[in-house]
Each structure stands twice: as structure tokens, then as C-alpha cells.
Structure 1
């Protein structure tokens, strides 16, 4: 017995040793498997052909204006509201227009676009295009920025993009530290207003401005410019410039071509947006999902990144519209209810049940407060409905006489025949008297009724 036990223990130890030796070479592989994963690459939602098609109408905008358009396009619902507002205020433009919409709930990038009504008039012609443009910028910012540069190089090669009295066009070499650019492009084209305080929005026909379009099956999107802002402009080729817009602080964003994002001028932003101040560390644009207005995100990465941002209690309250102004209004309403003796409404199911129990257990004299009897009345109504339902379910019962009273039926006078005979004779006499006058009238006889007092004898009269 001992020998077999020793053999079993030895065999177990040998197997354990072999298993350890077998697992030793795999230890580095397991460690690598548990290492943190790298950030997955961004999903390619749109192809280069689709990006060029949707970027063509705005790729030649000045860099600060293009940055505002790209930021605002991620909020397509608010852009539609800004377009409606701009149509209702056709004379509003520049910094003054932005100040007029300071109380709107729009994102500051959308508010900045009301300074350029001609831009909103163009964006208002294609809401689907605007949403696709914003989705592309959220999902593929690098591809979007590269697409703009690709189109600018095409316009410059076609001779339709150069400096003039409205804008300055400069070509800058890409720095060595910048992300790898396409092999066909080693420089960056920057477009800036000739006067920093006056911005001219170019209008052009994308089908001719970029030369021969590389994708004949997918021509560029073209929205004719509003004639009110570009009178007499024949967009055969090249760029047309309408009336300039005087601005000081309306454009606070700029394109960072090296990092493929948007820089924010904090000072200009705070000078214009008094209600939403930022600090110097917030000099890079970040999408705010609070202003998405329920518009779904196109790609899964954007849905995961921006669809679950409302984790804190304060953000949830803001998402529900629970701000300080509404909190004060609720408190004022509750104070008014207390002054008038009105019971405050329950804020939870538990509190409502507690109010019902208190109302049912309190004396009748203490339930004179307005609204205190409502739970009791509701309970009584429920009880009446339940009794009515039970009555419908049970078979009908015959009425029973109360103790000590005779039953009202055909055998009621069986125990008192004399009284029954008297009642029968009275009934017969009453019936005969009722029929006698009618019979006399029918025979034509005069009916005489006895009087209570004897008639006096008068001369010439009948006795």
C-alpha cells in the first residue's frame, strides 16, 4: 500500500515538472498577449473619390473660414437652425450678427457662421452634403485635410488659385516632423485673407476650377452662389469675390496642416463667446457631442467615442436640459404652492405611496389641505369599480324580506282572510263608483251630485 502511494506521488511530481518545463517557453507569448492593445486605426468611411466630391465646394475657402465650416459641419442640426435664422435676418453679418445669436444654444462654431450669410446660404442648399462632410471630418480628419490640399494643388495647377487683393496664397514646404504626406505632394498651400479684418468668401464652379476632374463618374458637388451676394458674377472659370465681411473676432479657428487638426485662438474666442469661456490649454478643437441634437454618427468609432460621453451627473443634467434657470423656476413654483397651502407633487413612486398612506390614516379634519383627498378619492373609486366588477360576475340574488315584515307576494293575505275580503270589497266599490258616471254620460242622462248643504228655496227656481 505504501509502495503504491509513493509511486503515485512520484508520478504526480514528474508530471508537474514536465508541465512547468513545457510552459516556460510560452511565458513571453502570454505576456505579449496581455499587453495593452494599440489604438485601432480609424475606419475609412469615405473613399478618396467621395472626399474630393464633397470637399470641392469649400476647399478654396480661406483657412480660418474653412476651419469654422469643418467644425460646424459636425453639428448638422444646428446648422439648419442657423440657416433659418440667417434667412429671417438678411442684413445681419459680421461680429454683430454673432452677438445677436449669443443666447442661442448652438455650438460656438455654428454661431460664428452667422457672420457669413453667403456661406450659410450655400450650406442650406445641401443638408445631406453638410452631414456627410461633418461625418468625414470626425471619422477621417487626416484624409479630409489631405483632400483639401490635393484639390488646392489641382486648382493652382489649372491657374485658378493665386494671390490677389482679396486673399494671399502661399506655398509652404512640409516640415520633416509632419506626418507622412502623399508622395505626389510635398508642400502645403495656405490661403489667408489679404486684410485680417475683412474676409471675402470666394464663389466658384468646382466642375471647371479644378481643371479636368479625375472622377468623371462622380462629378463634384456644386451649389450656385446666392445672387444677392455675388451680383453679375459669371462663374465660367476661376474665383469670384463678392462683398467683404468685416470681422474682428468671428473667426477664432485655423487649420493646422501639420497635425491635421484645428487650432483655436483662445483670446479671440473668449472676446466673442462671453457665455462659454475657455482656458489656454483648450487651444485644440474637440467635438462636443452635446450639440449633435440626436443626429446619429456614421461610423462605429465615432459612436463609441462620442456616444458615451455623458457619464457624469452634471453632464446628464445638462443633456436633459436641467440647468440653473429651470431649477430656480421649479423652486419658485414649489414656494408658491407652499404659500397657497397646496401639497407638493411627489417626485418618486415611493413618495407618492407614502402620501397615499398618510392621507388615508390622517383624521378627516386634517385632510382639508388642497389635494390631500385626491389619493383617498382615487382609492374609493377603485373600490367601487371592484365591487361593480364582482357584482357582474356573481349571479343575481332574489330580494329577501327584513325580519318581522310580510313578504309582498300572492300569498301575503293567506293568514288574514277577513282583512283580505275587506280590501277586495273596497276595491270593487271603488271600481263601480268610477265606472258609474261614465256610463250615465254615455246614456245621455243628467248627472246630479249631492251638495254638502241644503239649497235655499228661491223664487222661480227648482227645488
Structure 2
């Protein structure tokens, strides 16, 4: 079969076009697959979007840098923050370094203990525990994005005219220039400049916590579908501060060592002032090498981590029983008290409590088995006694039965004797009566029986002619009976 020339040429052109499309445009420069994979990994591991980060960071982004660092660290322990909120409500007049010293014995992370110095901050965090947990999860999973979100919001507030220096805080703008490209690198657009806004207390030993309405302080919100949440300030700390725009400041909090964290904007993490830390945290001293904050999973209190990377990184720090012990707040002091109590129990011969569910079950089974063995031994002993004393037991049983029968007979005899005595007395009692009651003795069976016997005896005496009655009177009969009763014939 011959194919027409027109169809052959068309098929050849189509195949050549497909082969051209399959080849890259520039074979000498293949695509950078590593960069593509990195971008995809970042997009996949992102826990919160930029919109969500701005929404949750808006209420605290304008805090002074030391206080902001303290809040970000503490929110990674949401359970302990809730306990600190409860403690602060119970001690509303306690603040500053004195409050931190009062909670030194609490099993909380030092970052959480530091927040009790600012009851107005804990009052704000206590309004929404879910927000606190999300904020801590974001800082653990996306620290760079969180720090970038804070700077983005600060620039918006500054552009709206609501962030500036005053008698409460110093606001400085630090310009940062991107490094210039090297000669070996390919040509690129001119380096772009960006700035970092830093907020510090005007007096390092007095901190004023700002209060503001995020919906107006940042100007026009970039995400109308996801506006920031406004947590009204506690009236006790901000009297008469109905905010429409801008920042309001309440009473300052005098501190010396309560705030020991600082935002490191270059590395997007938190630095620790070791001297200030050791001044206030007497029970948890650190060295100069520990000047970078690290999350401690022991104080997580069992709250699960949101992303897989955090679970893999921090979940391995505590495994199995050790993790459960830490979640219960176990520490060296409790362990020492527990050992002391166990020693006292051993001294007085008291059994120690079970340390696990399995041990408790084993003890219960052993106790049940011991009881069964004891019951079996007791039953065997009783059977031996029964077999050895069988005949004697039977004899004893018969003797007891005979004694009971004898006692019953004696009781019946005494009852009959009493009935007869009553019967003898009753006629004399009824002598003056016109006639005897027909129902007399109906309720006394023994009396009725005695009377019936006396009646039968009287009847028998009457039927025997030559027998005297019991009363002693003889019956007189005629000596010559009538003629018709004589025997013989006429």
C-alpha cells in the first residue's frame, strides 16, 4: 500500500515539531531542580500564612522588644501561661521583680515566671488561650516569618503615624543594606534597602506596656477578610483608655531583672542577658555560653506540637515515662520527698504503693491467688475434721435431737397441767352465773379437751348400773321390773 506524498510530509513536520518542544530552550543551562525543591519544601512545611501571622501578631507587635521577646518565649508553653494567668488574677496587686520572686518555686519555665511582673499582659493573654497556643506554635515552626511579620506591622503603624518616640518608649529605625554582588556573580538589579524598627523602654528599669486597637493603629488593614482581634485592655491598668487610634500607656512597671530576653533581628531569634537572668532566677542559673534561647519541651505540659518538624525536633527530648513524669511537673524536690515517704513505709512495715498500672494488676492477681489458696487450705482442714469425727458428729446430732424431743414433751405436759388447773378453777368462778356460756373455753383448747373428757366419763358412768358415779351417789332402781319385761311365756 502506497502512502500519498502529502500525508507523508505532514507527518514528518508534526514529528519534528514535537521533538523541538520536548527539548529545553537552552540545553547548556538546565533548570535548578534544587531551588525548586527547596521552594516546594518551604511551601509544604509552612504552618501559617502571612495573613494568619499578621492577624495573630497584631496585638503584641508594638510591645517593647524585651517584652515582646518574653511573650514569644512564654507562649511556647501555653499550659503554664494559663497557670500564670490564674496566679496573677489571685494576686492583682503584685507586679515587677517582687512578683517574679514569689513564683520562683512554681514549676514553670523562667520565661513564664517573668510574665507575672506584668499583670496587664497576662490579663490580655488570658482572654484567648487558643490565640496564645497558635502564637507559640508559629514562633517554634516559623521564627523567621514571625519576626518578619512583626517588622511588617511596625512599618504599617509607623506609616499610619501611630508609632513614634515619646516619654514612654524610644523608637529607632535601623537601616540595613543588602550585600553587593561579587564580580563573578551575574548582573542583578541594584541592591534594595530595608529597615528594622526597634522599640526600647525610655527608662531601662521602667517598662510601660502599650495598649492599642489593632483594627485602627495599623492604618488600612491589608486583609479585610481576616481582621485582627482586639483584646480590650484591663480597666484597672488603663483607666479611661477608650482607644480609637494610636497607643495608650498605663502605669509603668519597675523592673531590674524580670526582662532578660532581647530580639535579635539579624538572626530572627532571641538573645539572653545572662547577668539579668541570673539576678532574678536564683534557682535556675545559666552560664555565659547559654546566651541563646532554646525551647524546653519539659515545660510543654503535654500540649501537642502543631507541625511535624517541631514534633520531630522537640518530641525526642522526652520519651515514654520520662515525658509523662515531666508533664506531671515532677522535679528533684518531689522525688526526694517521695523517697523519704517510701523509707518511712518500709520502716513501719507498710507496703509501698504500685509505681505503674502493670504492677498494681500483678499485686491484685497475687492477692486474689493467695486468697484462693487460703480458702482451699481451710476447706481441706474442715474436710479432715469431718472425716475424723464423722461418727461422733452423728451421735451428737442424735443426742441433740432427743434432747429437743424431751424438752417438747415436757413443755406439752406443763401446758396440759396448766389447762387442767384452769378448768378446775373456772366452774367456781362461774357458780353465780345463770348458765354457762356455750363458747366458754373456745380460745383455750386444753380446757375444752378437759371438759369433753369429763363429759365422756359421766356418760360412761351413767351407762354402767352398778358403778357409782364419781360424785359418790348410787342409782336406785326398782326391785321388781314390770311384767312385760319378765322373761318366759305367759
TM range (shorter): 0.5 to 0.7
CA distance in 2, matches of 1:341, 1:98: 43
Task: Tell me the alpha carbon deviations over residues 389-439 of structure 1, each in whole angstroms, 9 at most, x when there is no partner.
Answer: xxxxxxxxxxxxx89999xxxxxxxxxxxxxxxxxxxx9xx99x9899753
CA spacing shift, 1:277–1:312, aligned 2, 3 Å: farther
Alignment check: 8 A CA contact 1:166 1:193 kept:
yes
CA distance in 1, matches of 2:341, 2:393: 62
Question: Which segments of 5 or more consecutive residues in structure 2 lack a partner in the other structure?
Answer: 1-37, 181-190, 380-389, 395-408, 417-444, 458-471, 473-490
Q: Which residue of 2 aligns with 1:451?
A: none
Greater per-residue helix proportion = 2
CA distance in 1, matches of 2:89, 2:455: 102
Alignment check: 8 A CA contact 2:297 2:314 kept:
yes
Matched residue SS, 1:236:
coil
Alignment check: 8 A CA contact 1:74 1:131 kept:
yes
Report the Cα offset of residue 443 of structure 1. Answer: 6.0
Matched residue SS, 2:199:
strand
Report the Cα offset of residue 312 of structure 1. Answer: 9.9
Report the Cα offset of residue 333 of structure 1. Answer: 3.1
CA distance in 2, matches of 1:215, 1:304: 33
Report the Cα offset of residue 347 of structure 1. Answer: 6.5
CA distance in 2, matches of 1:146, 1:194: 24
Q: Which residue of 2 aligns with 1:101?
A: 103
Which residue, 305, 313, 322 being the options, matches 2:313?
Answer: 305
Question: Which segments of 5 or more consecutive residues in structure 1 lack a partner in the other structure?
Answer: 1-36, 358-372, 386-401, 407-426, 448-461
Report the Cα offset of residue 340 of structure 1. Answer: 2.9
Matched residue SS, 1:255:
strand
Matched residue SS, 2:258:
coil
Report the Cα offset of residue 284 of structure 1. Answer: 0.7
CA distance in 2, matches of 1:163, 1:171: 11
Task: Tell me the alpha carbon deviations over residues 208-240 of structure 1, each in whole angstroms, 9 at most, x when there is no partner.
Answer: 111111111111121111111111223111111
Alignment check: 8 A CA contact 1:249 1:269 kept:
yes
Q: Which residue of 1 aligns with 2:218?
A: 210
Q: Would you say 1:377 and 2:371 are equivalent positions?
A: yes
Q: Which residue of 1 aligns with 2:86?
A: 84
CA distance in 2, matches of 1:314, 1:175: 48
Alignment check: 8 A CA contact 2:107 2:329 kept:
no
TM-score by length of 2: 0.64
CA spacing shift, 1:77–1:45, aligned 2, 3 Å: same
Q: Would you say 1:440 and 2:450 are equivalent positions?
A: yes
Q: Which residue of 1 aligns with 2:158?
A: 156
CA distance in 1, matches of 2:230, 2:67: 19
Task: Tell me the alpha carbon deviations over residues 148-184 of structure 1, each in whole angstroms, 9 at most, x when there is no partner.
Answer: 0000001111111111110000000226579xxxx98
When structure 1 is superposed on structure 2, of 190-199 and 326-335 the one drifting more is 326-335
Q: Which residue of 2 aligns with 1:273?
A: 281
Count of residue pairs brought into register by the alignment: 354
The 5-angstrom pairing of residues 114-133 of structure 1 reads 114-133=116-135
Alignment check: 8 A CA contact 1:94 1:245 kept:
yes
Matched residue SS, 1:307:
helix
CA spacing shift, 1:312–1:76, aligned 2, 3 Å: closer
Q: Which residue of 2 aligns with 1:423?
A: none
Kindly report structure 1 stretches of 4+ aligned residues shifted beyond 2 Å: 174-178, 311-357, 373-385, 402-406, 433-447
CA distance in 2, matches of 1:84, 1:346: 33
RMSD: 4.0
Alignment check: 8 A CA contact 1:440 1:446 kept:
no
Report the Cα offset of residue 345 of structure 1. Answer: 6.2
Alignment check: 8 A CA contact 2:300 2:327 kept:
no
Report the Cα offset of residue 328 of structure 1. Answer: 3.1
Q: Which residue of 2 aligns with 1:136?
A: 138
